[in-house]
Amino acid sequence: MPILTALFHPGPAAEGQFHIANRGQMQKMTESTKIEFRHRRVREVHDMTDIVAMLFPGNRNQQHAAACILHELKWANCIVPNLNHLQLKHRISRRTLQRTRAKLARLGLIERVSSLNARYGGQGGWRLSGRFCAAMKLLAEKVDEWRNDMQPERQERERFLLGALE
């Protein structure tokens, strides 16, 4: 069994990249950028920094931008018409801010309110959304329903579906 040694490679490599030395051969390993919802990881979440680290793993710039966006929207007394002021205030690049804002919107943590929406009196901008929380609660309920449904018809249907997946 080969002995692996992890070496940090300073220089132009992106943050979070490591090189694995395997008997003289160098292989590039990067930190995963996929969102992890492992039950133990979720249990360790205590504040906003833990949440953004889970949603934006391996990208410190987007973690910083997400924390700034969420903080701004949480403590605003109204809808925030534009988030571009965060670029200057927190030295975030335009691209990072836009990509982070887009991912937060896709996840349902924030949402864009149209100025045509009568519910908000013609104000347009960004606000925190409850879609993400509602979706996670619904997913948890669906998993509980599936786990507790022990009807014979359900077993037959699941066997059929398993056969279709092969």
- The CA distance from 58 to 56, in Å, is 6
- The CA distance from 117 to 113, in Å, is 7
Which of 33-37, 71-75, 80-84 is predicted least confidently? 33-37
Instruction: Give the domain ranges of the chain.
Output: 1-31, 39-129, 135-165
pTM assigned to the model: 0.74
Q: Are 110 and 126 contacting, i.e. CB atoms less than 8 angstroms apart?
A: yes
Q: Are 126 and 73 contacting, i.e. CB atoms less than 8 angstroms apart?
A: yes
CATH class of residue range 39-129: mainly alpha
pLDDT tens digits, 113-128: 998 888 888 889 999 9
